[in-house]
Amino acid sequence: MSDDNKQNDPIMQWVTFRLGDEKYGINVMQVQEVLRISEIAPVPGAPSYVLGIINLRGNVVTVIDTRNRFGLMSIETDDASRVVIIETEDHIIGILVDSVAEVVELRASEIETAPNVGNDETSKYIQGVTSRDNELLILVDLNKFLSDEEKQEMDLF
């Protein structure tokens, strides 16, 4: 591929994880680390999508229940469960996922816009979809994963 084409169709790396039957991808540049499940301290009065907080080398990080956020039923964590520490525009949060799969490379041209038939607010964090290994990969825009109000609320934990 020529340099012009590379510029027009850049390659991005995505960390993929599973939630139920579906596979999701998040921008590798925003992933700080992937942790095994440790003790998550619940926060009284927190919204349902907040599992609690963890101590990450002296920093308090809020862990989000991604299943709850995506409207899926919560399940018991197991050996495959992971907390992915991600860096959004101005916050560091952890997201609990069923398992972390791999890192994949995708060209911008491979990503298609996901249909939005519902409420704009609820699905604005879906950046797009792409077909990979005979299944659809749903790409999540972490910067839109939480609303501004929700981000402010994170500061209180």
What residues line the site for other proteins (CB under 8 A)?
A: 20-22, 69-72, 112-120, 122-126, 129, 131, 135-136, 138
User: Tokens 């069923």 map to which residue?
Assistant: 98
* Separation CA 107–CA 12 (nearest Å): 6
- Cα–Cα dist 69/125, whole Å: 11
Q: Which is nearer to other proteins, 43 or 144 (CB)?
A: 144
Task: Read off the tokens for 140.
Answer: 């999540």
* Closest separation in Å from C-beta 37 to other proteins: 22
Shortest spacing between CB 3 and other proteins, in angstroms: 29
CB of 24 vs other proteins, minimal distance in Å: 9
Rounded-to-integer distance, Cα 66 and Cα 98, Å: 9
For residues 43 and 129, which CB has a smaller minimum distance to other proteins in the complex? Answer: 129
Q: Are 63 and 40 in contact (CB under 8 A)?
A: yes
Q: Which is nearer to other proteins, 56 or 151 (CB)?
A: 151
- Specify the residue, 45 or 118, whose C-beta has the smaller distance to other proteins: 118
Residue 68: CB minimum distance to other proteins, A: 11
Q: Which among 99, 154, 110, 155 has a CA at the least distance from the CA of 136?
A: 110
Q: How far apart are the first and last CA of the chain?
A: 48
